[in-house]
């Protein structure tokens, strides 16, 4: 079985984690109204930091606000249900935060999601109920 990824514009092998990824992409496109050209799936951090082999599940760029690739609007890391704990997922995201400073973070384990927003200091994050709609994005 395969999924057609509307961002990568190709068929992707159906795995439990890919199912979660595709559900998030659909939600970002349909509910949050993020333009598809600002979304990257399996974004490699090697293009920012030479030698870095890590890949972010989903990254939403913030180019419209004049932000660099290092300052995306959203970083999403998702795992299939029961693959790891939320604490393990946070450790993984903290590695990404050495390279990226997203405005928002979305962590997911299967059907459960946690959203975080960057604090005014630009270094810490606090829980929020959900993401804002894309047209409501405030330029910092």
pLDDT at 137 (0 to 100): 54
Domain ranges of the chain: 15-136
C-beta neighbour count of 126 within 10 angstroms: 9
Residues 6+ apart with CB under 8 A from 105: 74, 75, 76, 77, 93, 115, 116, 125
Average pLDDT over every residue of 106-134: 90
**Per-residue pLDDT reduced to its tens digit, 57-70:** 999 998 877 778 99
Out of 3.40.50, 3.30.420, 3.90.1570, 3.30.1050, which CATH number does the structure's domain 15-136 have? Answer: 3.90.1570
Q: What is the mean pLDDT of residues 107-115?
A: 84
Greater confidence (86 vs 78) lies with 78
pLDDT in tens, 2-48: 988 888 888 999 888 888 888 999 999 999 999 999 999 999 999 99
Quick one: pLDDT band at residue 89, thresholds 50, 70, 90?
confident
């Amino acid at each position: 079985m395969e999924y057609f990824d509307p961002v990568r514009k190709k068929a992707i092998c159906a795995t439990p984690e890919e199912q979660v990824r595709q559900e998030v992409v659909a939600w970002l496109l349909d509910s949050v109204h993020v333009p598809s050209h600002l979304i990257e799936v399996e974004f490699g951090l090697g293009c920012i930091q030479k030698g870095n082999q890590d890949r972010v599940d989903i990254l939403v760029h913030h180019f419209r606000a004049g932000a660099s690739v290092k300052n995306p609007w959203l970083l999403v890391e998702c795992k299939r249900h029961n693959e790891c704990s939320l604490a393990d997922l946070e450790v993984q995201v903290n590695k990404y935060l050495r390279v990226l400073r997203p405005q928002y973070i979305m962590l997911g384990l299967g059907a459960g999601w946690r959203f975080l927003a960057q604090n005014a200091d630009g270094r810490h994050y606090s829980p929020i109920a959900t993401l804002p709609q894309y047209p409501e994005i405030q330029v910092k």
